[in-house]
Amino acid sequence: MGLQALFFYLFAFIAVASAFMVISARNPVHSVLFLILTFINASGLLLLTGAEFLAMILLVVYVGAVAVLFLFVVMMLDIDFTELRAGAAKHAPIAALIGLVVAIELIVVIGGSAISPEAKLAITQPIPAVVERQNTQALGDVLYTDYVFFFQIAGLVLFVAMIGAIVLTLRHRTNIKRQDISAQVARTPETAVKVVKVKSGQGI
């Protein structure tokens, strides 16, 4: 077994184990920490395949921003996770169906490459030899030319998801004083100042 294969099995085993712990850990903070560990090992797998740019993007974007944001949101929000998990049993059939579909897709992909090894050679858009070692340039050429519309649609979907998350988590509290710009602009000297005549000797 070569050194590259050894690192592959090491990263793959830790990634699968930590991904399982993400959904099985009782503490949500521990789940986020296991998610960060999963991303780090996935970056190691990308480095082994030669995709250095994707590995760094995975670390910078997901570990450095998204996962840390999840961690702070979970720690700051007062969420009763016991109540949320109470109704998870009724969604078990749908989850099992989705898991079965994903398992069938994985079997088809892995089985197809094992039955016909020449299938992986049928690449529709091979990477030019000039930029073979510059995966950033090759990825940008393909992403912003042939798949630019799909890239824009993905950004729109993420934008709508962000707005939905803000709307769902926004809480209006009635006991907090809020600023009313229109009321401030409409103020007059009569409503802003109250003159009280105090008799001599009765003041503070």
DSSP summary character for residue 128: P
The C-alpha atoms of residue 60 and residue 54 are separated, in whole angstroms, by 10
Give the rounded percent of residues in the chain with a pLDDT score beyond 90.
7
Query: Does the pLDDT value for residue 171 go beyond 90?
Result: no
Least confident of 58-62, 70-74, 142-146, 151-155: 70-74
Token couple for 68: 């840390």
Q: Look at the pTM and tell me if it is higher than 0.85.
A: no
Q: Report the pLDDT averaged over residues 146-152.
A: 87
Q: Report the pLDDT averaged over residues 42-55.
A: 85
DSSP summary character for residue 88: S
Q: Hey, where are the domains in the chain?
A: 1-78, 127-170
Among the CATH numbers 1.10.3720.10, 3.30.390.10, 1.20.120.1200, 3.40.50.150, which is that of 1-78? 1.20.120.1200
Token couple for 113: 């490459």
Least confident of 8-17, 23-32, 125-134, 145-154: 125-134
